[in-house]
Structure 1
Amino acid sequence: MASAKTVPKPFSVKATTVATVHTYLANTAFLTALALGCLLHYKRIVKNEVAGYPDEWFPSVSATIGDWYPERNIFQILIALTAGPRFAVVFLQYYLARTKNSKLAVVVLISGLVRTVSCGGWVYITSSDDHDVHDFFMVTYIVCNIPWMFGGLACTPSDNHTARRRRQLVSGAFFGSLVPLVYFFIQHKVHRIPGAYTRYAFCEWSLIFCDIAYDSIAEIDFRRAELEVALGVSLRSTATDEILAQAPAMPETPTEAQAIVEDNAEADNQPARQDVSHSWASTLAIIVPRPLVAFLSDAYLAYVFWSIYTSLVPTLFYFSIWELAIAGSEIALLSCLSPVILGIPGALPWAASRDGQTTLRALSLVGLAVYVVNSPLGRLFGVAFANICLFVGQAAEWTGTGEKSVEYSAILTGLGLIISSVTKLANHTNNPIWPFVNENSGGYNKTGIVLACLALYEAHTRPRLQEEPTSSNAKQAKRTRLPASREFGPSGTWLTAAVAGGSLVYSLHTFLSESSTLIAWLWTGYPITGPVPHLHGAMTIIAQCFGLLIPLALKGSGIGVDVLLHPVWFAYGTASAYTLYSYKNWVGYFGGLNLAIYLMSVIPPVLLELARASRGREGKTFFSAFVVVCMLDLASVWTVAYAFVPGGAYLRERTDLVLIAQMSGLALIARWPNGQGASSLLNTPLHAKRYASAVLAICSVLSVIATLYRLPTEPPRPYRPASRIIRAGIWTVHFGIDNAGRDSQRGMRHLIHDMELDIVGLLETDLHRIVYGNRDLTRVIAEQEGYYVDIGPGPNQHTWGCVLLSKFPIVNSTHHLLPSPEGELAPAIEAIIDVWGTLVTAVVAHNGQEETPLDRELQATELARIMSASYPRPVIFLGYVVTKPHAARPSPYEIMVQDGQVHDIDQEDEDRWCEYIFYRGLYRTSYSRLSRGSITDTELQVGQFVVPRIGSGPINDTVEARYLRSFKEDLPTDHWFPMEYYGDEAGGGVNGHFYHVFYTPLYYKIPEGSEV
């Protein structure tokens, strides 16, 4: 007995003490670093790459905790001491929440652990140590705060009003601070405004203290639960004490005593052991809950649907581009009409079944796998076949006759589109699993296919779970079939619903399949007075997420989604479309954001009406819907390709008619509520609603993070400032599709980088259209090489597009639509750039075709007027001008050179037809022509110029002075073009590019006495 009484009592501490220690240690760590930093290195920690004290007067968190001794080291010691209490708080919160909502509690636990580890990552690996690793941990930390904060709020008992209210306030302040944080970061990093980083620093510090304040709220939970942490407690020792205290005498042998203890402990605690065993099994099963896995699989397959579908038209239009006419490949578009198969008896039940869905989606993966096929025609066949299978399966799923309800499928459809937009935003506007991209052009095809196979396997093998109750008035209902269709139109519902469904699919595709397309519609150039494609595209994604949240919110409110078909809501969408079309810059973008909200919100009700109306006539209904899609697709192309198609004149530059048609299609099912809204409650499992909401929140945050990650870290810098050299190039890049039918952005970047071009004019660049995949041709070049970008007239301006890239600041730019009475509309950019204090006019233009001589004459006259109007300011013209050198009027050459008061880059070069470089007020020192390689069908022309000193111009502008030819060896080496590009068709050069025509750059001397 004596030995039993000497068992030490367990040590215990109140859980509130742990939370308090964590709060004080964390605050002490940051505040100590801030105080020491300001005392010891104030001007150093407030200084950044833009400005220093006094413009910048408050330090950022990273500069405070990571740059200088001793504050860095003291901070790291204190934050290390915080780790123990921090982990304890995470586990104690899980302990309290696990019985209330075990699945959500596990998610919060995992996010809390990852969040804590990632905190150590960005604290101990500073940006000066490794910028990318530091940013990775910082981004992970912020992302994990979403489930940590919102999950913690959801796990807080509803009667714990104090904790709930504080968590709502603090989490709101935390995520609210992200908005000004992003704004001031852009002001600092992109616009380089002195003082912006100080304002950014305040937002950054507010995030830190909101984060600590949120964790401190755990103290309220622990106090309310009277939770204590005990050390030294043992199940066996407790049982032994109780048994020995009640025993009249000691057993005769130690073995007998131990047997009594074990028997009693086993008897008393058998239920507890069973619970423990069951708890471990449950925990292992719910670390990744099967419903969550199932939802993520469905969402990924929806993403695959949009990826394969959006790859179809760019793949087929490759051939139309080469022919500049109907090439026959357009017939592949009819693969979208495959849902007509559902009209065959027995086809729908099979296609809607699990086996049918698995088979059809497995076959559709051919559309991803054909990325390995080098032949564009082979890829077209593969993608067309994939779309045939894909649309049969998707239409069958949208009928609601399978395992998924229509409403659930509709939410997945919207979610897949958003995921596609996020991946494109993060991948330079290329979908990473498109078949016309590969590992050399930004593709992650193998990863995408593996994930698709895993998702498909999960979908095929998942248990057939009974559905959860979906609303208070439908708890006993089991969803297997849709209610009978409801009449709401005099001509029958199936046709009107089909037109509305087709209009919706087209609208989603044309406006929302890429986050910067809406901005391209509204862009007006410099100075910037509206949204910028690579900066504000995330706002489009956030608007999409918000729009899809509306029907999810209606589910919880008991209001039927029929309300989203109300004429008032349709009027809101129509007004938004009108604003987008009629206004530019922020006003137009405001209309675009509201249009995004409207289109995403009506996905469930429109697809629900489509499914209702198709009952018994699924084949012709979905066939008709995609006929509408195909017609609108073609109409949108004809508005700009009118010169190459029969009857194109009727849609010439009439995007307004296409917009009216698509909105009118949606108007066909707009109606007043008829009292049957309850039947249109979203019949989606409750867990799916939670998961969808969480994924939408994550997509919103990831879009912002991807934008910040892609922002340039420093302003563009010219290549040769000491020599005052400008290299300018003109290249017709064939819509960013190379000769093998793949994305060419990275191939273009390599050549532009090697040529060290300061100014680049790119033509045929308007890719914000369905036929080109809704892409932005400038993203890779601008981000990786550092350029100011003017993307020129947008898709609603009905041109093939032109782009100006400049290493020099663009002071002002004007977009021109050149006169085109007979042929295609020609774009031009007139920009004033600041070249080391000298203002230079740069003009990029794309003229009409040989078939329209009147257009070319009028366009040349207008371009000559633009260049002449800027006299005597220096000019660089980079353009596509269909003319022969020295051709007399009315051909463009003589008009532009004489009336524009400019010089030809080399008037002795007779072997030209479409690309020309003209200049004025500069010294030309070199001219080169590089073969196209496999990038496009047109060469790259480059002119090299020297800018005279400020206030002076060329001292001798005669022909003789301008044509003092030279060998490169007679010029300084910084005037030389790369030696690696010498070669010919037999070999040499780089990636198929070499100096051709002259097989060397041409060099010219600068006249003696020139001021450069």
Structure 2
Amino acid sequence: MDGYSPGELNSRRFVYPACWRFCGFSTDDTTHALEGDGHYYKIVKNGVAGYPDEWFPSVSTATGDWYPERNICQILIALASGPRLLLCYLWYLLIVRNVPSSKGCTAFAKFLLINDIIRTIACGGWIYVTSSDDHGIHDFAMVVYLLCTAPHVVGTIKSAPQNPRAQKYRRIFAYSFFGALIPLVYFFIQHNIHRVPGDLAFDAVCMIDFEIFEVRVVDLGLHGQFPPGAPFSDVKTISGRNKQASIWNHTNAADGLSFAADVYLGEYIALLQCHGHVYLRNLRFLTQISYLAGFIFWSMMTSLPLMIWYFPLWHMGLSGYEAFLFCNVTVCLLGLNSLRQTIERYNGLVHLLSLVGILSYKIFDPAYRLMAVAAGVSLSLVTWGANLFGQRHQNGRAERSVLALALGLVLHNVVKQAWWANNPIWPIMNETNGGRNFLGLALGILACVQVMVRKEPFVHEPKSMDGSKRKRGAWVLSAIGGGGYLFCLHSMYTEASTISRWSLGGYPNTGPHPIPGGWMVILAMAVGLYLSSHRQLVVSWVWFAVGSVGLAILHRVEGDVGFIGGILFTVFVMSLFPTLIRSLCRQPPGRTMLVAMMVYNFLALAHVWVVAYAFVPGGEIMRERTDLVLMAMLACLFAGVYNSNHTTAWSLFTDTRKRSAFSISRLYAKLTLAALVLSSSLICLRRVPRSVPQPYHPEHKLITAGIWTIHFAIDNDMFNSEIRMRDAIKDLELDVIGLLESDLQRMIMGNRDLTQFLAEDLNMYADYGPGPTKHTWGCTMLSKFPIKQSTHYLLPSPKGELACAIHATLNVYGKEVDVIVSHNGQEEDLLDRQLQTTELGRIMRESNNPFLFLGYVVTKPGPGEEIYSLLMDGGRMHDIEVSDSDRWCQYLAFRGVKRTGYARISHGGITDTEIQVGKYQILEDSRPNGEHRRMTISNFREQAKYNKIEEDQVPEGLRYPSKFYGQGVRNHRFHVFNKPYYYP
């Protein structure tokens, strides 16, 4: 028995008797049970392991694969479906019967009923369609079930009669369920990805609430005595007692609580309000840290998609870790009043716990680091939500939290500008690549401690002049507007250079570069925040039309005009910040934040799918449809603005003359905005190039050119690789290099920009290539030689990934030399590769200048290969080394220049692709323009067969650096040949 004695088998049978009997085994005869009429071995076996590593049957195998186990389970589930649906309907009746006059209550009851029905159907989906039947449908049904469980739990608690015993049990079961989700996701990933072997109680509480029900079947005839609208409180229960149940209890429990501060040290205004004055040094200390809270929030929020992206990048498809994007749905817990009030009371402590997202940089394993970041984002969102929603009755404090978020976003942009589009406290940063994680963590801890020890008075909710409460508007519209607005800010305004990259074109019509384009965006953000005080302007439809036109220009027009449209849209978007956030926070917190986060999540996925359509099921629907994403985003903003028109006016910078929190915030906000804009100006001045780029070896008229696929500047261990890339490029003395998979201006890449860092640090000219709105993975060209002109191509791609190319003309030692950097399609799409390579061949063939090709073309080398021939023969180009048969995707080719060297250098753990480098010399006696393109193919191949020479026969300036021999430097070394090739 697989090494187990009968005693051990009996022991295992004794420990798991329920499983044993369920599978149909005899408990009297162990051997017979294991070998007899049951299917124990088969049921516990899965795609990872079998018995004894797996000893308990999964739901899928128990319900879908074997008779009689399958039939027993499915019959029981079918019998349970009727009572389950009846329970959903009874709960609906319980809500509407107790508050028959409340339209909002009835709408919520219908929403909860529909949600619970969908949840029940989804449960049947993953039970009856097992993973062995259809893994995709099974997982989809499970995801729908879990997503519907959150509003089910929160909605049930929110709408339940105020029965202390029932509510106590519900909260225990709810906390247990949501608390178990994190380890469950972890074990799911360990099992499904790493292949490591190894809520009924909540609903049952309804029995307590239904004590007030009496279920009767009565023939009322034509003149029934029970009026349809009568409340259930007038009906006798089975026990004969009359009970009154109040579903919606509007008692303001928060009135008796002492609230903590909104954000780490952001509530300096409350101290001024309490004490009347504060010393200048204390004010300065507080205000220096006050917007750190907003900065830390945006830092963690923007790092999460970036961390998630690492896994599908290396899996070349869905990995399972994408589920962590939905960690933000924990905000639905804000619907639990007691939990929200507890978080608000101890928000300093919860903020301190959320710093695990910053501390995660110390975790080396990428999966565990992602989990820590997801936990930090979840805690941070819940805490911010508890502060904002809890402060609905404290207008000044709520304003300060919104202020901290807004200025924290501007600060986030300024800090990223200082670090060349990287955030120094992201978990992909550390002490080796420019990170300042420890400093950010220390300041965060200091801020949390200050919040925990500070006490503030409670401020009652201000009322309107007539004594009536302020209007809230429709919570659904607020949620949609808030979710769309968060997506807009995250996707477009968490990096100052994003707008300039969206509007770029080829040389010379590139539009503003990050310097000074980034400063102009930060200035526009400051102007937008300043205008937010003019609420009459902000919520007007004329202003909305102006913003919409600006977005359309940004999306449709390249160069300076497109950038101006982006600036206009920036001012519009930032002017909405306090209005939309404040409107959002006047709504019921649980359901509002849940819908807002789901809107944000779906827009984020659509934003990714427009370029990653080849990696997701049904991705073709969103292929190259950034326009649809922007239209949906704009529709969400419309909903938010429309709803805010139905709420009481509220502004960030109020013009009240009274010395209050509002007037102080107005003054200090202006000073802070001015300081941030000034800081951005100083950063730009510091980053302005001080000298003209110069080639490494002008004495030989040498061009050293390379190609490298750099996997979005995330190394194999999920750390930022830009500094290591810079060192490799500098050590190789590259005059021209093509970088592939280099477009980082998306949420999933952190809205970064490796091009500006490498160009400035290496003192090179840069062409970013097709921008983010062109739906490619990006290609960049860096050059020590001036770029006279360039054209960005989207190569024909009818089926697979959209391929990009840069065709640039460089001024090389006074002569024009053309360079192509291209990233073609994958192996799966032959037609795409044929059309793309044919187009590249045409571009090269029709050029009159000497030519260098630096590209990614999936093919084997050799004259018999179709794609290879289309590239070399069709473009009338020389392969740099025809005898190198070990290549697959990266190729170097040339024409009209003299080849002197060729080398392949290992990637050093930065990516999974090597660096290929060629050395060429400009010929003094080069032919007149166009003459070399009329040479025959045979002459091309004859000229390509140079005899190789040894390194000691090559002048020093034409050699590759000796540091790459042997073990190399920083894991970069000559490989394949273990040395470079040289040619006379």
One fold, TM greater than 0.5? yes
Q: Which letter maps to 2:807? A: E
Aligned-pair CA distance for 1:456: 1.8
779, 803, 809: which one aligns with 1:832 = 809
894, 897, 908: which one aligns with 2:883 = 908
Partner residue, 2:351? 361
Aligned-pair CA distance for 1:536: 1.6
Which residues of 2 match residues 288-367 of structure 1 at below 5 A?
288-290=281-283, 292-353=284-345, 355=346, 357-367=347-357
Does the 8 Å CA contact 2:403/2:652 hold for their aligned counterparts? no
Does the 8 Å CA contact 1:298/1:459 hold for their aligned counterparts? no
983, 994, 999: which one aligns with 2:978 = 999
Does the 8 Å CA contact 1:924/1:945 hold for their aligned counterparts? yes
Partner residue, 1:976? 959
Partner residue, 1:536? 517
Aligned-pair CA distance for 1:310: 0.3
1:367/1:609 CA distance change after superposition, 3 Å: same
- Per-residue deviation, residues 689-714 of structure 1 (Å, max 9, x unmatched): 22221111011111111011011110
852, 877, 880: which one aligns with 2:856 = 880
Aligned-pair CA distance for 1:598: 1.1
1:579 aligns with 2:556: no
Does the 8 Å CA contact 2:500/2:512 hold for their aligned counterparts? yes
2: CA distance, partners of 1:319 / 1:855: 26
2: CA distance, partners of 1:400 / 1:997: 64
| RMSD of aligned residue pairs (Cα, Å) | 2.4
- Per-residue deviation, residues 926-949 of structure 1 (Å, max 9, x unmatched): 100001111001000000011101
1: CA distance, partners of 2:820 / 2:711: 19
Aligned-pair CA distance for 1:669: 3.1
882, 901, 909: which one aligns with 1:926 = 901
1:730/1:675 CA distance change after superposition, 3 Å: closer
2: CA distance, partners of 1:949 / 1:540: 46
1:582/1:366 CA distance change after superposition, 3 Å: same
716, 724, 727: which one aligns with 2:701 = 724
1:429 aligns with 2:406: no
1: CA distance, partners of 2:633 / 2:278: 47
Aligned-pair CA distance for 1:431: 0.6
2: CA distance, partners of 1:678 / 1:623: 25
1:645 aligns with 2:616: yes
Partner residue, 1:521? 502
Aligned-pair CA distance for 1:770: 0.3
361, 364, 368: which one aligns with 1:374 = 364
Does the 8 Å CA contact 1:562/1:673 hold for their aligned counterparts? no
Q: Which letter maps to 1:874? A: P
455, 476, 490: which one aligns with 1:495 = 476
1:750 aligns with 2:727: yes
Does the 8 Å CA contact 1:717/1:808 hold for their aligned counterparts? yes
Which residues of 2 match residues 436-451 of structure 1 at below 5 A?
436-451=428-443
2: CA distance, partners of 1:868 / 1:638: 35
Aligned-pair CA distance for 1:400: 4.5
608, 624, 627: which one aligns with 1:656 = 627
2: CA distance, partners of 1:601 / 1:679: 13
Partner residue, 1:668? 639
Aligned-pair CA distance for 1:568: 1.9
1: CA distance, partners of 2:399 / 2:616: 40
Unpaired runs of 5+ residues, structure 2, are: 1-274, 655-660
1:672/1:989 CA distance change after superposition, 3 Å: closer
498, 504, 511: which one aligns with 2:485 = 504
- Per-residue deviation, residues 639-676 of structure 1 (Å, max 9, x unmatched): 00011101101100000000000000011133499797
Partner residue, 1:181? none
Aligned-pair CA distance for 1:405: 3.1
Secondary structure of 2:435's aligned partner: coil
1: CA distance, partners of 2:313 / 2:405: 31
1: CA distance, partners of 2:421 / 2:635: 30
1: CA distance, partners of 2:727 / 2:645: 61
1: CA distance, partners of 2:401 / 2:277: 29
Which residues of 2 match residues 400-799 of structure 1 at below 5 A?
400-401=390-391, 405-464=397-456, 484=469, 486=471, 488=473, 493-528=474-509, 530-552=511-533, 554=534, 561=535, 563-612=537-586, 614=587, 617-671=588-642, 677-678=648-649, 684-799=661-776
Partner residue, 1:11? none
Secondary structure of 2:698's aligned partner: coil
1:676/1:609 CA distance change after superposition, 3 Å: closer
Does the 8 Å CA contact 1:430/1:442 hold for their aligned counterparts? no
Partner residue, 2:42? none
Does the 8 Å CA contact 1:563/1:677 hold for their aligned counterparts? no
Q: Which letter maps to 1:522? A: S
1:418/1:676 CA distance change after superposition, 3 Å: closer
1: CA distance, partners of 2:643 / 2:543: 10
Aligned-pair CA distance for 1:326: 1.0
2: CA distance, partners of 1:675 / 1:619: 21
1: CA distance, partners of 2:355 / 2:669: 24
Secondary structure of 2:798's aligned partner: coil
Partner residue, 1:858? 835
2: CA distance, partners of 1:758 / 1:509: 36
1: CA distance, partners of 2:810 / 2:766: 12
Secondary structure of 1:714's aligned partner: coil
2: CA distance, partners of 1:734 / 1:855: 22
Q: Which letter maps to 1:999? A: N
- Per-residue deviation, residues 802-824 of structure 1 (Å, max 9, x unmatched): 00000000011000000000001
2: CA distance, partners of 1:526 / 1:592: 20
1: CA distance, partners of 2:709 / 2:612: 17
1:893/1:661 CA distance change after superposition, 3 Å: same
Aligned-pair CA distance for 1:351: 2.0
Does the 8 Å CA contact 1:406/1:607 hold for their aligned counterparts? no
Does the 8 Å CA contact 1:924/1:962 hold for their aligned counterparts? no
- Per-residue deviation, residues 174-198 of structure 1 (Å, max 9, x unmatched): xxxxxxxxxxxxxxxxxxxxxxxxx
- Total equivalences in the alignment: 692
Secondary structure of 2:391's aligned partner: coil
Secondary structure of 2:971's aligned partner: coil
- Per-residue deviation, residues 418-476 of structure 1 (Å, max 9, x unmatched): 10000000111101111111121121111111111122222222342688xxxxxx9x9
1: CA distance, partners of 2:751 / 2:777: 13
- Per-residue deviation, residues 348-390 of structure 1 (Å, max 9, x unmatched): 111222x1x1122111111111111111112101101101101
1:447/1:284 CA distance change after superposition, 3 Å: farther
2: CA distance, partners of 1:531 / 1:761: 22
- Per-residue deviation, residues 142-191 of structure 1 (Å, max 9, x unmatched): xxxxxxxxxxxxxxxxxxxxxxxxxxxxxxxxxxxxxxxxxxxxxxxxxx
Instruction: After superposing the two structures, state which structure 1 stretch, 650-659 or 374-383, moved more.
Output: 374-383
1:496/1:283 CA distance change after superposition, 3 Å: closer
1:915/1:961 CA distance change after superposition, 3 Å: closer
2: CA distance, partners of 1:325 / 1:371: 25
1: CA distance, partners of 2:311 / 2:541: 42
> What TM-score, normalized to structure 1?
0.66
